[in-house]
A and B are shown apart, each in its own frame.
Chain A
Amino acid sequence: MKAVKRYQLLVMRVQQKQNIESEALLDLASEAGQMMLESGGETYRAESIVCAILRSFGAKEAESFATPTGFMASFEGSDRKTHAFVRRIQKRQMNLDRITRLNSLADKATEGTLKFLDAKDELRSIETNCDRSLKYKLLGAAMIASFFCLLFGGSIKDALSALVTGTLLILVIRILSKRQVSDFFINISGGAFCALFILLCTELKLCDSLSLTFIGTIMLMVPGVAIVNAIRDTIAGDLVAGIARGADAFISAAGISIGSGVIFKAYALLGGSIL
């Protein structure tokens, strides 16, 4: 009992010293958690950084619960009231630099080397200048498609046509996601585009092996990492997150299959031969 009172006293001291309002703390923590989930961080990481930020800036009894599609947290602020927030996660795009910087922000906060106002500024900077321009993404896509095609045993010609297809694929995905089309439809049209373009290349004798070129290009879209992460989450005990990620991976794999399958089937019906 005595220990609890002492702890409460010291928490109040810390808060009075930095003069942190619960509302501002709530804003900071919820934005950090949301950004972490939107850039593809694991759910346990989002939970732990939210709790770390809340606790190190003086909240008591901070708890949070995250799934890939949203998260909630509650804490007892300096005003002795319980605050809670819920955030919905709409878009998810992998951004490893953002994960790293958010993680180090939470680390600094728990070590006590970060002032509250600095943390706010840092979060602002993570939000705005943590994304590369399109040309780097296109370069990355070109490298992925061509080198994975070579890795799986394709020839130089295959790699070159995979390079072109991969670069165009990223552009197609980008245009569609700017129009706010659903992810499922983006996957269908991405798969269909790849199949169509590579069939065209094979018809024009620009590539030797249809399947190798296709596998190399489709590395850009297939949810291989998502499936592995789903199993990892489930093993680690985040059952809800694991199942949600698994469903996500399954749906996007199905979308790609539907898109490319329709094109290949139509091609076969028109008299061409696959493989």
Chain B
Amino acid sequence: MSKALLEIAFAFLGTLGFTLLFNLNKRDFFRASFSGALGWGCNLLVQHFTGSMVFAFFVASIVVGIYAEILGLIHKKPATIYIICGIIPLVPGGGMYTTMMEAVKGQSELALEQGFLTLSLAGAIASGLAVASAISRLVSIKDDKRYDHIKKEAKRTIKKVRKF
């Protein structure tokens, strides 16, 4: 348990580093880093109960995606900025390293196996995010104010033309 908490803290701090490197606004530092910690926490929890890595990544990225969409709605910012920070602890950097390492050692079968795992993890994250954005689109009730000024101007013009 304490090990899991420690890992979540590391995920939070690592993501905080990425918010600095990716030049995020100061006000979003902690929100974005929290999404990284949230993703890693969900991943640990699901992996503990199911034992499947790919499924855990899938669930974790759905949670990150929904969290990001909600924050994006609240703060009127694109959800992507929270998504990119949130998936960083999950993205399979280690898998890539292992794939490369096995390839360098000349063990092509192990390299292929690792490469397949890496690709399926990336696919799981991407499809989880797609599911999250689909859910948010189904649920959200947005007041469409786009191009209102043009519509208003149009109405006024039409009225004037009629009077004339």
Q: Which residues of A pack against B, CB within 8 Å?
A: 6-7, 9-11, 13-14, 17, 41-42, 45, 52, 55-56, 58, 94-100, 103-104, 107, 110-112, 130-132, 136-137, 139-145, 147-148, 150-152, 211, 214-215, 218-220, 222, 224-225, 227-229, 231-232, 235-236, 253, 256-257, 260-261, 264-265, 274-275
Contacts and interface: CB of A to CB of B under 8 A. Distances in A.
Contact of A13 (B94, B147, B153): B153
A244 to B, nearest CB: 16
Interface in B83-104: 84-85, 87-89, 91-94, 96-97, 100-101, 103-104
B21 A144 contact: yes
20 contacts: A10-B150, A10-B154, A17-B153, A95-B23, A97-B23, A100-B28, A103-B77, A103-B78, A112-B147, A112-B150, A140-B19, A151-B11, A151-B40, A222-B93, A225-B88, A228-B129, A231-B123, A231-B125, A231-B126, A261-B100
B127 interface: yes
Nearest to B130: A235
A211 B102 CA distance: 12
A99 B80 contact: yes
B122 interface: yes
B97 A218 contact: yes
B10 interface: yes
For the residues of B in contact with A, the DSSP-based class is helix
A94 B17 contact: no
Contact of B94 (A137, A215, A257, A265): A215
Which 6 residue pairs of A and B lie closest in terms of their CB atoms, listed nearest first?
A112-B149, A224-B91, A140-B20, A143-B17, A10-B154, A231-B126
Interface string B22-51: 111100100000000000100000000000
B96 to A, nearest CB: 5
Given A7-B154, A228-B125, A264-B104, 11 more contacts: A10-B154, A96-B22, A136-B20, A139-B17, A141-B17, A143-B17, A148-B14, A224-B122, A225-B87, A227-B91, A228-B126
Contacts of B40: 151
Contact of B145 (A111, A131, A236, A275): A111
Contacts of A222: 91, 93, 96-97
Contacts of A220: 21
Nearest to B61: A228
Contacts of A95: 22-23
Contact of B147 (A6, A100, A104, A110): A110
Interface residues on B, range: 35 or more
Given A137-B20, A150-B10, A257 B104 contact: yes
Contact of A9 (B97, B105, B161): B161
B148 interface: yes
Contact of B150 (A11, A224, A265): A11
Contacts of B18: 140, 144
B93 A143 contact: no
A219 B23 contact: no
Nearest to A235: B130
A56 B81 contact: no
A143 B80 CA distance: 22
B101 A211 contact: yes
